[in-house]
């Protein structure tokens, strides 16, 4: 399997160039559903230990159905498919540029949740224009065992998020274990108390948000696999902007600087969407870290990856 790895503001992406399963025809969304249903072992083998790590997001390139898109791309993490992924879209754009498939300027990616525009500004800097993002529920209050009362919003930014400012401790790298434990408990409480995204979708990401120096806010983002996002999370910050816009706290076109738990940043802004939500633009940087051929030797007991603890 030929892959190119990168990191976007600290968060790893593995672009799969060849060696993936045949997903047949149809839209990228239909092929993504087949990948999730029939090829879970393939996804884990490509990004989990011992060839990858829990935080890694796979980006499998597939032929686009739409002729105006440079490629189709299906995102997945160790827990399954992601509808969209901001950091992996930036990583994919940098990878396509590294391969000579795109140059400076605007390009379109066909993702399972719609077309995403990427603008390559330089070898390392990319803006993505995400899918329309919106808030579904405001001020959802939960009793979270071991954490206490937590109130937050449920919003869509290409994935489903619960976003709260009620913090179990300071958003500092030294607290990552504690923050992970608390957000896992919040996610479980959402599920136990019957909260979902639209059409019963699992709310698989949780964001803790706090004021900080040098940016508009700092976040800690729990991802579906139970790992945390090293980047400020493109889809998560899109969902946050939808909440800020709905509350009248951020105007269309106004800049927002989001800092991650490790201190990396995205610059964002939005325009009004066609369906009452917002269309965010997320700007961040990515770097290539490896170009590899992954081997799956016959008899390797961990060819399909090591399941997460």
Residues in contact with ligand PYC by CB under 6 A are: 11, 57, 82, 85-87, 159, 223, 229, 231, 233-235
Closest CA to 1 of 308, 305, 309, 307: 305
Nearer to ligand PYC, 3 or 56 (CB): 56
Catalytic residue among 43, 85, 223, 243: 85
* Shortest separation between residue 143's beta carbon and ligand PYC, angstroms: 27
85 is catalytic: yes
Within 10 angstroms of residue 49's Cβ, the number of other Cβ atoms is 15
* Shortest separation between residue 66's beta carbon and ligand PYC, angstroms: 21
Nearer to ligand PYC, 87 or 185 (CB): 87
Nearer to ligand PYC, 234 or 301 (CB): 234
Nearer to ligand PYC, 22 or 61 (CB): 61
233 is catalytic: yes
Write the DSSP string, the chain: -EEEEEEETTEEEEEEEESPPP--SS-HHHHHHHHHHH-HHHHHHHHSTTTS-TT-EEEEEE--SSTTSSEEEEEEETTEEES--HHHHHHHHHHHHHTTS--SEEEEEEETTEEEEEEE-SSSEEEEE---BEEEEEEEEEEETTTEEEEEEEEESSSEEEEE---SS---GGGHHHHHHHHHHHHHHHHHTT--SGGG----EEEEEE--TTSSEEEEEE-TTS-B-SS--HHHHHHHHHHHHHTTSS-TT--EEEE-TTS-EEEEEEEE-TTSSEEEEEEEEEEEEEEEE----TT-TTTT-PPP-
Nearer to ligand PYC, 107 or 205 (CB): 205
* Shortest separation between residue 133's beta carbon and ligand PYC, angstroms: 11
* Shortest separation between residue 299's beta carbon and ligand PYC, angstroms: 33
| Backbone dihedral angles phi then psi of residue 127, each to the nearest 5 degrees | -110, 140
* Shortest separation between residue 210's beta carbon and ligand PYC, angstroms: 19
- C-alpha span between 227 and 136 (Å, rounded): 25
Nearer to ligand PYC, 152 or 234 (CB): 234
* Shortest separation between residue 77's beta carbon and ligand PYC, angstroms: 7
Catalytic residue among 48, 233, 243, 283: 233
Give the residue numbers annotated as catalytic, written as ranges.
85, 233
């Amino acid at each position: 399997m030929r892959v190119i790895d990168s990191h976007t503001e600290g968060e790893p992406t593995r672009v799969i160039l060849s060696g993936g399963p045949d997903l047949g025809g149809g839209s990228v969304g239909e092929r993504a559903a087949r990948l999730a249903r029939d090829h879970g072992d393939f996804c884990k083998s490509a990004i989990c230990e011992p060839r990858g790590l829990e935080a890694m997001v796979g980006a499998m390139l597939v032929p686009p159905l739409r002729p105006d898109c440079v490629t189709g791309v299906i995102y997945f993490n160790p827990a399954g498919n992601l509808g969209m992924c901001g950091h992996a879209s930036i990583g994919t754009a940098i990878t396509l540029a590294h391969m000579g498939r795109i140059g400076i300027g605007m390009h379109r990616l066909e993702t399972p949740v719609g077309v995403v525009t990427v603008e390559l500004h330089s070898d390392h800097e990319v803006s993505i224009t995400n899918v329309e993002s919106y808030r579904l529920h405001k001020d959802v209050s939960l009793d979270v065992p071991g954490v206490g009362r937590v109130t937050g919003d449920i919003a869509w930014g290409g994935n489903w998020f619960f976003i709260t400012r009620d913090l179990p401790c300071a958003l500092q790298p030294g607290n990552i274990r504690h923050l992970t434990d608390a957000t896992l408990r919040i996610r479980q409480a959402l599920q136990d108390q019957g909260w979902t995204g639209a059409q019963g979708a699992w709310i698989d990401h949780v964001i803790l948000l706090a004021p900080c120096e040098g940016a508009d806010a700092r976040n800690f983002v729990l991802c579906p696999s139970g790992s945390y996002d090293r980047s400020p999370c493109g889809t998560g910050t899109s969902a946050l902007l939808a909440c800020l816009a709905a509350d009248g706290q951020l105007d269309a076109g106004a800049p927002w600087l989001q800092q991650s738990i490790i201190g990396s940043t995205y610059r964002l802004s939005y325009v009004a969407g066609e369906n009452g939500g917002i269309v965010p633009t997320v700007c961040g940087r990515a770097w290539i870290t490896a170009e590899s051929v992954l081997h799956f030797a016959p008899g390797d007991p961990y060819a399909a990856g090591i399941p997460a603890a």
